[in-house]
Structure 1
Amino acid sequence: MRVARFYAPGDLRLEDADEPRPARDEVKIRVRQCSTCGTDVKIFNHGHHHLVPPRVIGHEIAGEIVHVGDEVSGWSIGDRVQVIAAVPCGTCPDCTGGRMTICPNQTSVGYHYDGGFAEFLVVPRQVLAVDGLNRIPDGVTFAEASVAEPLACVYNGQELAGVGEGDDVVVVGAGPIGCLHVRLARARGARRVFLVELNRDRLDMAAAVVQPDAAVCGSDVDAVDEVRKLTDGRGADVVITAAASGQAQEEALQMVARSGRISFFGGLPKDRPTITLDSNLVHYRELTIVGANGSSPAHNKKALQLIGSGQVPVHDLITHRLRLDDLHEAIRLVASGQAIKVTIEP
């Protein structure tokens, strides 16, 4: 079979490999779609401290079961499935307390286990142990199902930030995650959703698809002033920073209304992880700042339901569909911002 195996930063090789052999307590799937994301770009350029090469990467995975181990129940050959990426241990105090996203023992598909940029994938026993293999609803394509993983992360972030009925929401960052935030905020009953982005071309591409109530280009206008104008000086109820930008996080405090909520959704570069935060704004305006780290198996199930019900459409976010041999081009497209979502069919 063909695989994309990471060896070192800049060294991602398309190779022939033997098909993986599942154990008795594992499942094997034929990968039908594996979507790319900014994390794949980061791995390609810099590697990852959890990834020991050589490793098949790719973690937004959908496919169909071709083998079920003798000790596995509840699954059949031919079942269409989506695989979680972040794998909690399921037994630590955080997991048993319902906080699987912050499991200190978390492992990941595409990092600790071979991922989805391959024709076949063994679903590790650790995934099955936490109910991390999910049925794809009828009517949902494999490509759409592969977007469930990032949508699950977005769902977690909006749950933590309490996005709900009547909110004015600002999403900073017009990449695929930002687009999903716009769509989900609407599904959760937001009154208005504003999209903020520095890159004009990226903003125009995203806005044409997700149609926010206003699209604000931060390189053309003062985004803070623009948000205040849009909200009659009050500020937004929720600001979500879906960008790896310290400036965006600092400006979020200037955009948010009194008693508002801020989601630091996008992590910052490891060499620049700090910001200047006016804590008096938090204190006197009674602001809430929350983080958001990945998703749980339950979030993945909810994401598939949202896609299947049509509440959060994702088919039109997939702007490029490529084959595995074109993976380097897919990574280039993601890195350049010329695509919203790129899916790979092995």
Structure 2
Amino acid sequence: MKVFRFYAPGDVRLEDAPEPTAAAGEIKIRVRACSMCGTDVKISQAGHLRIRPPRVMGHEIAGEIVELGEGVEGWAVGDRVQVIAAIPCGECDYCTSGLMTICPNQVSMGYDFDGGFAPYMIVPPAVLKVDGLNRIPDGVGFAEASVAEPFACAINAQELIDVHDGDVVVVVGSGPIGCLHVRLARARGAKQVYLVELSRERLDLAAAVVQPDAAICSAETDPVEAVRALTDGRGVDVVITAAASGAAQEQALQMLAPRGRFSLFGGLPKDRPTITLDSNVVHYKELMLMGANGSSPAHNKQALALIADGSVPVSDLITHRLPLDQVAEGIDIVRQGTGIKVTIEP
């Protein structure tokens, strides 16, 4: 079979590999959809400290079971499943306290285990141990189910920052995760949701799909002033920065109303991880700043449920569905921002 593997920064290859078989405690699935995100671009260009090459990439995975290893119970050949990406250990103090997103022993599909840019892959026992293999609800397609993984990360962030009824929310960044944040905020009861994006082209593409209450191009107007104008000078209740931009994080503080909440969702480049924070703004306005790191197995289940009941549609966010031999082209689409969500269908 063909697989898409990472060897070194700038060295990614579509090549032949033997079809895997399920050992004891493992499940083999036929990959039906594996979506892409900005992390795939970063890995292909710069690698990752945790990846030991060669490694099959792809971590937003959905498929169907084709083989059960010895000792696996509760599953059957033909079951449609979604696989978590971030795998907590389930045993440390954080995990046993319900804080799986900050497990210090976390491993990941596509990093520590071969991922989903392949026709077949193995679900390791580590996933099954933490209930990280999820049944895809009836009526949800494989491509939609593969979006549950990034959607789960958005759920974690909005739970932490407590987006709720009546909130006015700004989402900075109009990529697929920004679009998911817009729709999730509405599903959680936000009164208004504004979308901010540097690129006019990307903003128009996303706004046409998710239809925010206001779309602000920060290359053309001061986003802080635009938000203040929209709120009669008050500011907003919540800002979520779904972009790897220090400038956006600094601007977010200026957009918030007193007692506002700020989700630092998008991480910054490792060589530029700091921002200038006016701590007096935080102090006098009594602002809350909250990080968000990935998702738990439970968040993945919530994501599938919200997709299934129509609370947060995702199918129209998938602008490109490509075969396995076009993974490299898909990575370029993500890098250039010419689509919203790219899904590989092996």
TM-score normalized with structure 2 length: 0.99
Q: CA deviation at 1:70?
A: 2.4
* Structure 1 partner of 2:341: 341
Q: Distance in 1 between matches of 2:156 and 2:183?
A: 14
Q: Which AA in structure 2 matches 1:27?
A: I
Residue 103 (1) aligns with residue 110 (2): no
Residue 227 (1) aligns with residue 227 (2): yes
Q: Distance in 1 between matches of 2:18 and 2:337?
A: 34
Deviates more, 1:129-138 or 1:68-77: 68-77
Q: Distance in 1 between matches of 2:25 and 2:314?
A: 33
Q: CA deviation at 1:95?
A: 0.3
The alignment partner of 2:64 has SS state of strand
Q: Which AA in structure 1 matches 2:79?
A: D
Let me know the Cα RMSD of the aligned residues.
Answer: 0.5
Q: Distance in 2 between matches of 1:23 and 1:229?
A: 60
Q: Which AA in structure 2 matches 1:150?
A: P
Q: Which AA in structure 1 matches 2:69?
A: G
Q: Which AA in structure 2 matches 1:57?
A: M
* Structure 2 partner of 1:149: 149
The alignment partner of 2:50 has SS state of coil
Runs of 4+ in 1 over 6 A off after TM superposition: none
Q: CA deviation at 1:9?
A: 1.1
Q: Distance in 2 between matches of 1:69 and 1:11?
A: 33
Q: Which AA in structure 2 matches 1:320?
A: H
Q: Distance in 1 between matches of 2:72 and 2:310?
A: 32
The alignment partner of 2:207 has SS state of helix
* Structure 2 partner of 1:295: 295
* Structure 1 partner of 2:320: 320
* Structure 2 partner of 1:265: 265
Residue 246 (1) aligns with residue 246 (2): yes
User: Number of matched residues?
Assistant: 346
Q: Which AA in structure 2 matches 1:175?
A: G
Gaps of 5+ in 1: none
Q: Distance in 2 between matches of 1:102 and 1:189?
A: 27
* Structure 1 partner of 2:174: 174
Q: Deviation per CA, 1:279-303: give whole Å up to 9, x if none.
A: 1111111100000000000000000
Q: Deviation per CA, 1:152-202: give whole Å up to 9, x if none.
A: 000000001100100000000000010000000000000000000010000
Q: Distance in 2 between matches of 1:157 and 1:14?
A: 35
1:1-346 correspondence runs (5 A): 1-346=1-346
Q: Which AA in structure 1 matches 2:173?
A: G
Q: Distance in 2 between matches of 1:119 and 1:24?
A: 21
Q: Deviation per CA, 1:41-78: give whole Å up to 9, x if none.
A: 00000000111110001000000000112211110000
Q: Distance in 2 between matches of 1:271 and 1:141?
A: 39
Q: Deviation per CA, 1:229-260: give whole Å up to 9, x if none.
A: 11111101000000000001101100011001
Deviates more, 1:2-11 or 1:300-309: 2-11
Q: Which AA in structure 2 matches 1:19?
A: E
Q: Which AA in structure 1 matches 2:298?
A: A
Q: Which AA in structure 1 matches 2:293?
A: N
Q: Distance in 2 between matches of 1:257 and 1:2?
A: 52
Q: Which AA in structure 1 matches 2:300?
A: N
The alignment partner of 2:145 has SS state of helix
Q: CA deviation at 1:100?
A: 0.2
Q: Distance in 2 between matches of 1:116 and 1:17?
A: 13
The alignment partner of 1:281 has SS state of helix
The alignment partner of 2:75 has SS state of coil
Q: Distance in 2 between matches of 1:90 and 1:281?
A: 39
Q: Distance in 2 between matches of 1:300 and 1:239?
A: 23
Q: CA deviation at 1:11?
A: 1.1
Between the aligned residues of both structures, percent identity stands at: 71
Q: Which AA in structure 2 matches 1:288?
A: M
TM-score normalized with structure 1 length: 0.99
Deviates more, 1:179-188 or 1:10-19: 10-19
Q: Distance in 1 between matches of 2:170 and 2:232?
A: 14
Q: Distance in 1 between matches of 2:14 and 2:223?
A: 43
The alignment partner of 2:196 has SS state of strand
Q: CA deviation at 1:22?
A: 1.6
